[in-house]
């Protein structure tokens, strides 16, 4: 490769980028705005074999594979894994239950009960999905107006009791 042109002007080759170490994000180009970390990027895990007694609250997603005994209050999603168990009332943006939940649930977006999931308690959310095989014992109230902060005078809540 030649570094000189015929017209006499010199041209130096562009430097090669440094390889990015595994597990590290690549650096942004000079002058490019830095990408902020997504709000939902943080996750908390209650591992299988672990037991937490007390209140859990925060803004990150929580995955329960162990046991939680106490109130759960999240700004993000609560996921109860296949072998996970929560005993206590839950309030979150969304809740996905594949394990066991004994307590009342309030979600601002949705509650999903998976085929292996079991819930004993009342559910309040604008959207509720119960997969075939999922067990629910309690009252379900679907009220999209209340969860979105809208006036619900024109729309009556839909209620379903299971047992």
Tens of pLDDT, residue by residue over 113-148, are 999 999 999 999 999 999 999 999 999 999 776 544
Could you read off the pLDDT of 88-116 as tens digits, one per residue? 999 999 999 999 999 999 999 999 999 99
For residue 117, give its domain range: 42-146
Contacts for 58 with CB less than 8 Å, ≥ 6 apart: 44, 74, 75, 76
102 to each of 5, 32, 56, 95, how far by Cα in Å?
Answer: 77, 49, 16, 13
What's the structural domain count of the chain? Answer: 1
* Residue 107 within a domain: yes
Stretch 9-32: mean pLDDT, rounded?
Answer: 47
Evaluate if residue 154 carries a pLDDT over 70. Answer: no
pLDDT recorded at residue 118: 97
Stretch 7-22: mean pLDDT, rounded?
Answer: 51
* Residue 61 within a domain: yes
Evaluate if residue 28 carries a pLDDT over 90. Answer: no
- CA–CA separation, 113 vs 95, rounded Å? 8
Give the three-state DSSP class for 40.
helix
Stretch 34-49: mean pLDDT, rounded?
Answer: 68
Least confident of 38-42, 74-78, 104-108: 38-42
* Residue 98 within a domain: yes
The pTM for the full model equals: 0.66
47 to each of 53, 74, 81, 109, how far by Cα in Å?
Answer: 14, 18, 10, 25
* Residue 72 within a domain: yes
CA-based max dimension of the chain: 87
* Residue 24 within a domain: no
């Amino acid at each position: 490769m030649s570094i000189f042109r015929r017209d006499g002007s010199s041209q130096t080759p562009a430097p090669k980028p440094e390889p990015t170490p595994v597990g590290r994000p690549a650096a942004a180009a000079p002058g490019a705005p830095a990408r902020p970390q997504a709000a939902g990027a943080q996750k908390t895990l209650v591992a299988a074999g672990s037991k937490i007694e007390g209140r859990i609250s925060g803004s990150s997603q929580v995955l329960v594979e162990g046991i939680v005994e106490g109130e759960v209050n999240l700004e993000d999603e609560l996921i109860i894994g296949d072998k996970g168990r929560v005993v206590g009332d839950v309030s979150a943006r969304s809740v996905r239950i594949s394990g066991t939940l004994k307590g009342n649930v309030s979600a601002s977006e949705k509650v999903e009960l998976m085929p292996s999931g079991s819930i004993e308690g009342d559910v309040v959310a604008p959207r509720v999905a119960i997969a075939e095989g999922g067990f629910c014992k309690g009252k379900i109230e679907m009220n999209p107006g209340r969860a979105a902060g809208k006036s619900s005078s024109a729309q009556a809540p839909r209620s379903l009791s299971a047992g």
